[in-house]
Amino acid sequence: MPAVTGKYLAMINESELVMPIRNEVDVVIARQRGRELASKLRFSSSELTLIATAISEVARNIVIYAGTGEIVLRIVEQGQRRGLAVFARDRGPGIADIDRAMQDGYSTSHGLGIGLPGSKRLMDEFTVASEVGKGTVVSMTKWER
């Protein structure tokens, strides 16, 4: 993995990265680092692209809705399975109606409304926890096949 710069990344260990998300540049960096970390696992090229896209979507939501937050990337193991877990955390306005936010086409920012539901389709596991006025945490995992 390339050298870690304090401005963008905090490397916890060889299998975990924490990245602040403040702007579109950070979104691109999170996408790239997620792909790099996932490449340590047995993912196909197309799976790496799906993972990078999901990371990009949830990171972009942080910028659009909360302004700032962070992405945590972690190689995880569950029994014999290994995968990449992604946590997108912010202290923004929160999501008042998660069920509605998970519907294709729903957007409060006049976007296409594919970010959260699209990310859910790309990953194997996906959850959203949010509290109005306190923030949101999106957790998602892609498992090796």
**pLDDT digit string, tens, across residues 32-89:** 999 999 999 999 999 999 999 999 999 999 999 999 999 999 999 999 999 999 999 9
Say whether pLDDT at 144 is over 80.
yes
Contacts of 143 (CB under 8 A, 6+ apart): 78, 81, 82, 83, 124, 125
All domains of the chain in start order, with CATH: 10-143 (3.30.565.10)
Tokens of 121: 């389709």
**b/e for 87-98, b at 16 or more Cβ within 10 A?**
bbbbebbbbeee
pTM over 0.75: yes
Tokens of 103: 């519907």
